[in-house]
Amino acid sequence: MREKLEQLKIKAMEALEDLNDLGQLEEFRVKFMGRKGELTQVLRGMGKLSADERPVMGQLANEIRDGLEEGLTKKTNALREAALEKRLAEETIDVTILGRVPELGNLHPITKTLNELKDIFLGMGFDVAEGPEVEWDSYNFEALNIPKNHPARDVQDTFYINENILLRTHTSPVQIRTMLKQKPPIKIICPGRVYRSDTVDATHSPIFHQIEGLVVDKNITMGDLKGVLDVFAKQVFGPDTKTQFRPHHFQFTEPSAEVDVSCAICHGGGCRVCSHTGWIEILGAGMVHPKVLQNCSIDPEVYSGFAFGMGVDRITNLKYGIDDIRLLFENDIRFLKQF
């Protein structure tokens, strides 16, 4: 039996030396040291030994087993280290090579214009107020002195969800909500997205953006409105910009006006952009109608106010020389990269 154990030890150590893959180590353990392994098979013959030989052979077998286990551990560690070194060599990153610079996006031209307009009015002491895009008819029309079946509704040709709920056609409902919750003095702008059932062309879209303004306090006059809009126009279009008010009619303001600015292209001389008039219409404005104040529980005998509203998309087109509103909504990266 001693000879068999010695031969087994030599055979196992030679086999262990030839191993070069971690997956082969378990096969080695099972073959030589498992329950049905070669060492176990030899040890089953110990029953035929004399009482004096058994302790000697048992000790020799344990020494061989311990040697094989130690050799197996060393081989395992050596193969794992070699595998790690190989992986590190194959996955080496050359940190001296320039990486790919990620392409950064930019603000959409509408967003840039909207932020600029907000900054101008915030600088004049206005606060920003916001409201829902899905709005009640009572806030969008009735509280603004536009009752049901009034012809003024036809101009807006609204998207209705049901009889009493619609997609807001202007941000004026935010003014109503503010006046119902807050008593004068009130000085706000209301930016946001609005909806009208317009046919899409170079100057119309069923979705666009507005900024409306509202000031309500004691002794507010048309002169205050003109002063605010004159400062606004000079900030947006340049210090030489002039404004003019043309009489108009809105249900929610009285008196009402449409406001033009002198053309920044021809400086009033007349060109294709301003239809050779020297002026470009940019917004509507007027003094808040007494009925609107009453609808919001504000006494028109004590308080007065002015309101104005403008299309952010139109001002964006004028600022950047864009001649088709559809370009602002088509997400063409070639167009947007210009800004």
Residue 337: the pLDDT is 87
102 in any annotated domain: no
Is 167 within the bounds of a domain?
yes
The answer to the question of residue 303 being in a domain is yes
pLDDT in tens, 34-72: 666 666 666 665 656 566 666 666 676 667 777 777 777
Quick one: 33 and 124 in the same domain?
no
Other C-beta atoms closer than 10 Å to the C-beta of 235 total 17
The verdict on residue 100 lying in a domain is no
d(CA 331, CA 178): 34
Query: How many angstroms separate the CA atoms of 82 and 79, rounded?
Result: 5
Residue 27 binned pLDDT confidence (cut-offs 50, 70, 90): confident
Q: For residue 297, give both structure tokens.
A: 């529980």
| Per-residue pLDDT at 150 | 79
Same domain, 140 and 74: no
Q: Which helix (H) or strand (E) holds 285?
A: strand 279-288
Residue type, 319: K
Place of tokens 């979705």: 207
Residue 104 lies in a domain: no
Structure tokens of 140?
């969008």
* Dihedral pair phi/psi, residue 169, rounded to 5°: -95, -10
Same domain, residue pair 84 and 214 = no
Task: Give a yes or no: residue 103 inside a domain.
Answer: no
- Per-residue pLDDT tens over the stretch 222-262: 999 999 999 999 999 889 889 999 999 999 999 999 999 98
Shared-domain flag, residues 126 and 56: no
Q: Does residue 77 share a domain with residue 201?
A: no
What CATH number did the domain enclosing 237 receive?
3.30.930.10
Q: What share of the chain is helix, strand, coil (3-state, %, to 5)?
A: 45, 20, 35
**Residue in the block written with tokens 């392994």:** 37
Residues 302, 181: one domain? yes
In a domain, 75, yes or no: yes
Same-domain check for residues 69 and 137? no
Residues 267 and 128 in one domain: yes
Judge if 135 and 71 occupy the same domain: no
Residues 52 and 191 occupy one common structural domain: no
Query: Is residue 71 domain-shared with residue 145, that is, in the same domain?
Result: no
Whether residue 142 is contained in a domain is answered as yes
* Same-domain pairing of 23 and 163: no
Residues facing residue 285 across a β-bridge? 257, 308
> Residue 276, by phi and psi: left (phi above 0), alpha (psi -120 to 50) or beta?
left
Specify the number of domains making up the chain.
2
pLDDT of residue 42: 63
Domain coverage including residue 269: 109-336
- For residues 85-106, give the mean pLDDT: 80
Q: What percent of the chain has pLDDT over 90?
A: 46
Q: Which of the listed ranges 7-16, 190-199, 320-329 does the model predict with the highest average pLDDT? A: 190-199
